[in-house]
Structure 1
Amino acid sequence: MPGTRVRRRTAHRERRRAARRHALLAVASAVVAIGATAGLIDAGHQDGRDTARPEPTPSPLLQPLPAIPTPTPTAPAPSASSARPAPAPSPSRTTARPSAAPEPPPSPSTTAAPAPRARLFRHPDSQVLDWVRAHPDDPRRPVIESRIAAQPAAVWFAAHNPGEIAGQVREVTRGAAAAGRIPVLVPYAIPDRDCGGASKGGAPDLAAYDAWIREFAEGLGAGAAIVILEPDAIALSDCLSASDRSARFASLARAGRTLRTANPRARVYFDGGHSGWHAPAKQAAALRAAGAATNGDGIFTNVANFHRTADERAYARRVLAALGGPPGLGAVVDTSRNGNGAPPAGQWCDPAGRALGQTPTTRTGEARIDAYLWVKLPGESDGCSGAAGSFTPEYAYALATG
């Protein structure tokens, strides 16, 4: 039966062809599956990243508390001056504020003065730091430490101490240079200072003062520095006779010249009083007589006082405009205790209700205003809550929480 055999052979060939087709399809499917898997693995590791792992979310930035500044570390330095009494404001400083002409708009010559632009120095030896170290368990310590002791402040040199002053100034300027910061130095030894008030004292005469200033200048070094030359020496000079006032002004002019010659990077500021005291024209005339326009870099205002920063800026610009001199003359403002403005008239000695002001900086953003400084150290008494210049924690705490 040849026909039957032919049909069987044909059917057998068809079954083998079908089996081969199934095998080939299986192999092709396996290849496709392997290729797809390899493609997924490669896509998941492009550029070395694992796309299955979520990118980390950045932690939120914590903003510093505005009322409690972060402590500023300073390089250790030896003691500068054991006694640094700040001036006690006299009642004449809080006389009625004179009416003033509107502030003129700044001209091209009154653009920002070339003042130092760096962080200010906090000397590691001060009465407030001594108190903080000695009272670790006092409940007021954290506030006083963070809001006052951590802030850069001026270093006062109030003793007439020939033979010692150059070394004391040098200790401060070297410490500031090592820390990469700018010191604020206050020579305060003019004869008859404070008109015999709570901060009376100083050199015995102007010749002795001139020699003391020359020694002071020897310690300035070559780095940037700010010198607040004799608070009250000009604004509070009406108590002197005309001849004594003239002699004092001549001595201040020599002092400014001596300091700037010793260190051209030291900026020397002369006493400009404050916005609640003399009229700008009167203060400018006295400053001119004292050589501020030719032997200084500008004026300081509001030392040991309480007038608001905006008032002091306007006043300082009016004084500078009346003073004349080089266009680079600027002003620095003491903001250490002016957070709540001035107290009522007649309340000048450690008045209640005051508060810390703008923290110290050389970046004011204001034309002709070179810096906001803490010249009067907050918490050091005017002479009522304690001896003039002594640290009083009660007063410091009141200022820090005012």
Structure 2
Amino acid sequence: MTPDHTSSPRRRNRRLAALGTAAAMTAATALAGVLLATTEASAGTLTGTFYRDPTTAVNQWLAANPNDSRASLIGQRIGSQPAARWFAYYEPSTIQSQVTSYVNAANSANQIPVLVPYMLPNRDCGGASAGGAPTISAYRTWVDSFAAGLGSRTAVVILEPDSLALQTCLSSTEKAERNSALSYAVTRFKQVNPSVKVYLDAGHSAWNSPADTASRLQAAGVANAAGFYSNASNYRWTADEVAFGRNVISALGNSNLRQVVDTSRNGKGPLGSEWCDPAGRGTGQAPTTNTGESSVDAYVWIKPPGEADGCAAAAGQFVPDLAYSLALNGIVTSPPPSASASPSPSRSPSASPSASPSSSPSGQPGGACSVSYRVDSQWGNGFVATVTITNRGPALSSWTVTWTFPGNQTITNAWNATVTASGANVTARNVAHNGNLPTNGTTSFGFQGSYSGSNTSPAVFKLNNVTCS
């Protein structure tokens, strides 16, 4: 089978980050949606689970390094999740077979393939991801071949990242040619496969304004597409992207359009305006069509976590340390931390409620403590919160924090702690890397949740059964 290549150059010359991997596509059938909740959509227009490709860079590394100390966590939290496949090398004679192989593998697994055509001339304005087809005419021919491989079942196409948000290098004539080429691609894909869902580039919430973004989308034929995507290879909070998307839809005046959000690395939000391998970021919401947002078709991982932006390593190169850091700090905590836990039916896998809050670990001393609880972001019926613990008593080798929600709140996933619940009662336990808490030591963990009515903060916290101030 002809090798299928994905993007190796960095995609971002401005605020967005890079993406890329080269992987040989095999005819192997993927594991059928390991650890993904959601087989039916609760919002938007998509139904189903996304395809987990066993030949991605992260899964190739995992197969080659099973005894690496980082492998278990990377495999659990990144390798188990589906990510988009990029088509970024100009290989006109083989692109149809590459697409066909990938789509057929997804169809065999009864899952949705996510494809990223990245071949426009003058992409990235000649920056780090320069390349693409030599001419607009050649691009249209490449699009025809790409379309011929899409099959007849549902597929998601993330069309040409940066093509609309980044146009500073284009003349008015070149913009018109690009818009025409994008519109042609949307139409051609739909002609060949009416079930395909094509989304156009909307940048992200901290780039162009909603009105400007809507104008660019309109010029590129978004009215004939399923909608647009945002946050590709960036770190912006999901809540900010959803709000941005609603404003773009409003500016477009077309309520039939939907949004897709890249959540691959936004679990801890951005680090200022840094886009190139910023430290301390984490994986975000697991890919799903179950978004709970009527304007959002899906959360997807457009940028495979662990592939460098060009600062930690060459753009597109898989870096185990990057993947480990993203996994360690991320929202996705699958598989569940214990055999008794099961995936939550909500936004992403999380620990299932326990029968009752557990007592503190035996033999662990208690002491004075303080706990701060902060809601970092809130939208619709969802929110993200951070809990910070300060131990004022004797040093601890493990810890348990408990509280009771005063409202109708539910935790859907957590990071840097194992969190379970029984009704309104919540128990958070340390994970392996943050169990030691010395006197006057501080640690924190976060979680994503949902609520109805008032999202009132808890008033009383206990650390190892000792009430904290």
TM-score, normalized by length of structure 2? 0.63
Structure 2 counterparts to residues 24-173 of structure 1, below 5 A: 81-85=4-8, 87-92=10-15, 115-173=45-103
1:191 partnered with 2:116: no
Q: What is the deviation of 1:164? A: 0.4
Q: Does the aligned pair in 2 maintain the 1:350–1:382 contact within 8 Å?
A: yes
Structure 2 counterparts to residues 249-260 of structure 1, below 5 A: 249-260=179-190
Matched residue count? 305
> Bigger relative contact order, structure 1 or 2, given CA contacts below 8 A and separation 6+?
1
Q: Does the aligned pair in 1 maintain the 2:73–2:327 contact within 8 Å?
A: yes
Alpha-carbon distance change, 92 to 239 in structure 1, aligned in 2, over 3 angstroms: farther
Q: Deviations over 1:120-140 (max 9, x none)?
A: 101121111111111111100
1:376 partnered with 2:303: yes
1:204 to 129, 134, 142: 134
Q: What is the deviation of 1:80? A: 5.9
Structure 2 counterparts to residues 290-301 of structure 1, below 5 A: 290-293=220-223, 295-301=224-230
Residue in structure 1 matched with residue 167 of structure 2 by the alignment: 237
Residue in structure 1 matched with residue 215 of structure 2 by the alignment: 285
Question: Residue 91 of structure 1: SS of its match in structure 2?
Answer: coil
Alpha-carbon distance change, 87 to 292 in structure 1, aligned in 2, over 3 angstroms: farther
Q: Does the aligned pair in 2 maintain the 1:300–1:334 contact within 8 Å?
A: yes
Q: What is the deviation of 1:84? A: 2.6
Aligned amino acid, residue 314 of structure 1 = A
Alpha-carbon separation, structure 2, partners of 1:113 and 1:310: 16
TM-score, normalized by length of structure 1? 0.73
Q: What is the deviation of 1:79? A: 7.2
1:303 to 219, 225, 232: 232
1:349 to 273, 276, 279: 276
Which runs of structure 1 show a deviation greater than 6 angstroms over 4 or more consecutive aligned residues? none
Q: Deviations over 1:326-364 (max 9, x none)?
A: x3210000000001111122x211110111000000111
Aligned amino acid, residue 5 of structure 2 = S
Give me the CA root mean square deviation: 1.6
Alpha-carbon separation, structure 1, partners of 2:298 and 2:187: 22
Question: Residue 81 of structure 2: SS of its match in structure 1?
Answer: coil
Q: What is the deviation of 1:85? A: 2.9
Q: Deviations over 1:261-300 (max 9, x none)?
A: 110100000001100100000010011111112x211000
Instruction: Give the structure with the higher percent strand.
Output: 2
Aligned amino acid, residue 375 of structure 1 = I
Alpha-carbon separation, structure 2, partners of 1:87 and 1:115: 31
% identical aligned pairs: 47
- In structure 1, the gaps of 5 or more residues are 1-77, 95-111
Q: Deviations over 1:34-62 (max 9, x none)?
A: xxxxxxxxxxxxxxxxxxxxxxxxxxxxx
Residue in structure 2 matched with residue 334 of structure 1 by the alignment: 262
Alpha-carbon separation, structure 2, partners of 1:251 and 1:91: 23
Alpha-carbon separation, structure 1, partners of 2:150 and 2:162: 22
Residue in structure 2 matched with residue 220 of structure 1 by the alignment: 150
Q: Does the aligned pair in 2 maintain the 1:151–1:359 contact within 8 Å?
A: yes
Question: Residue 4 of structure 2: SS of its match in structure 1?
Answer: coil
Residue in structure 1 matched with residue 241 of structure 2 by the alignment: 312
Alpha-carbon distance change, 141 to 227 in structure 1, aligned in 2, over 3 angstroms: same
Aligned amino acid, residue 310 of structure 1 = A
1:400 partnered with 2:327: yes
Alpha-carbon separation, structure 1, partners of 2:292 and 2:6: 34
Q: What is the deviation of 1:195? A: 1.2
Q: What is the deviation of 1:185? A: 0.4
Residue in structure 2 matched with residue 20 of structure 1 by the alignment: none
Alpha-carbon distance change, 153 to 92 in structure 1, aligned in 2, over 3 angstroms: closer
Question: Residue 5 of structure 2: SS of its match in structure 1?
Answer: coil
Q: Does the aligned pair in 1 maintain the 2:96–2:145 contact within 8 Å?
A: yes
Q: Deviations over 1:216-235 (max 9, x none)?
A: 00000001000000000000
Q: What is the deviation of 1:88? A: 3.2
Aligned amino acid, residue 360 of structure 1 = P
- In structure 2, the gaps of 5 or more residues are 18-41, 330-469
Question: Residue 274 of structure 1: SS of its match in structure 2?
Answer: coil
Question: Residue 102 of structure 2: SS of its match in structure 1?
Answer: helix
Q: Does the aligned pair in 1 maintain the 2:43–2:291 contact within 8 Å?
A: no
Alpha-carbon separation, structure 2, partners of 1:86 and 1:304: 13
Q: Does the aligned pair in 2 maintain the 1:132–1:141 contact within 8 Å?
A: yes
Alpha-carbon separation, structure 2, partners of 1:291 and 1:355: 34
Alpha-carbon separation, structure 2, partners of 1:306 and 1:119: 23
Alpha-carbon distance change, 86 to 145 in structure 1, aligned in 2, over 3 angstroms: farther
Q: Does the aligned pair in 2 maintain the 1:87–1:304 contact within 8 Å?
A: no
Alpha-carbon separation, structure 2, partners of 1:140 and 1:223: 37
Q: What is the deviation of 1:384? A: 1.0
1:363 partnered with 2:286: no
Q: Does the aligned pair in 2 maintain the 1:192–1:202 contact within 8 Å?
A: yes
Alpha-carbon separation, structure 2, partners of 1:380 and 1:227: 21
Q: What is the deviation of 1:113? A: 6.6
Question: Residue 248 of structure 2: SS of its match in structure 1?
Answer: helix
